[in-house]
Structure 1
Amino acid sequence: MAASNERAPEIGFDDFMKVDIRVGTIVEAAPFPEARKPAIRLLIDFGEAIGRKKSSAQITKHYKPEDLVGRQVIAVVNFPPRQIGPMMSEVLTLGIPDEAGEVVLLGPGQGVPNGGRMY
């Protein structure tokens, strides 16, 4: 996804509330060579209500799979699943581009319960 400096159109609060953004903990991370662009396959635990979900994340410039397990991340959990190579990605793990456009993961500044919803 290309980063944009353009501001998105204004939306109402009800539109914002339709996007379910939650915190989860990465419990498994592995290289994903079958993806079209370099990626890491993640399994993220969002707590009892949502469970564990798979995600493909293009985060290989700043992260190694072995360093990601135990890290909390933020993800959109209510987009429809998307086929990425041989894997069905169930959530969109969120990040912000650095100066070079490489993804830096978003996460809480301190530990919080898995499944907490962003507001």
Structure 2
Amino acid sequence: MIPNVIPTMKTMKAENKEAHGESEGKVEEASGFFTPNEKIDFSGVKIEPLFEDQVDFETFSKSAFRAVKVKDCKAVPKSKKLLQFTLDDGTGTDRTILSGIHAYYEPEELIGKTLIAITNLPPRPMMGIESCGMLLSAVNERNGEEELHLLMVDNHIPAGAKLY
């Protein structure tokens, strides 16, 4: 059986992997997916403060958070940052979302993964391509450098599943 390898950020260099509790060429598994917290060094991590403003439940509930499966992913020509995702959102029609995460991920690493997207944002043209939604990521700073982690979930979750 081939292990389910989770893509890592491109910027994570081999010398930093040990500090993060990872070893070269080895995927640490706990329940087959995540590295246990006790194996990750969070000492150099800084996060943004929480928002003071509150959002009422009615406003929050208008956002459609859905599981999406990455059918294809490629770099957008003439852009250093953008990746173009072709996604299965459970509707039977492919959804295109552009995301400025190329500094952190290579497109081929993401094909076949299950991600989280907001699917009811109005379409937004970027580099001549209409982006229909937003992929969710976690962002933090570690030792003065920004890190970005796409939110990935278990592949057993079907495309289009709603998150509450």
Q: Which residue of 1 aligns with 2:24?
A: none
Distance verdict in 2 for CA 1:8–1:114, change over 3 Å: farther
Q: Which runs of 5+ in 1 are unaligned?
A: none
> How far is the alpha carbon of 1:103 from its aligned partner?
2.5
Q: Which runs of 5+ in 2 are unaligned?
A: 1-46
Q: Which has the larger radius of gyration?
A: 2
Counterpart residue identity of residue 32, structure 1:
V
Counterpart residue identity of residue 48, structure 1:
T
Q: What's the secondary structure of 1:101's corresponding residue?
A: strand
The TM-score, its normalising length taken from structure 2, stands at 0.63
Instruction: State which of 82, 87, 104 in structure 2 corresponds to 1:62.
Output: 104
The TM-score, its normalising length taken from structure 1, stands at 0.85
Higher RCO, Cα 8 Å, sep 6+: 1
Percent of matched pairs sharing the same residue: 25
Q: Which residue of 2 aligns with 1:116?
A: 161
Question: What is the number of equivalent residue pairs in this alignment?
Answer: 115
1:24 aligns with 2:68: yes
Q: Which residue of 2 aligns with 1:101?
A: 146
TM-superposition CA deviations, 1:72-112 (whole Å, max 9, x none): 11011001000101100011111111323342101224520
Distance verdict in 2 for CA 1:92–1:8, change over 3 Å: farther
Provide the rounded CA distance (Å) in 2 between the counterparts of 1:56 and 1:71.
Answer: 16
1:41 aligns with 2:84: yes
State whether residues 59 and 102 of structure 1, in contact with CA within 8 Å, keep that contact through their aligned partners in structure 2. no
CA RMSD of aligned residues (A): 1.9
Runs of 4+ in 1 over 4 A off after TM superposition: none
State whether residues 59 and 104 of structure 1, in contact with CA within 8 Å, keep that contact through their aligned partners in structure 2. no
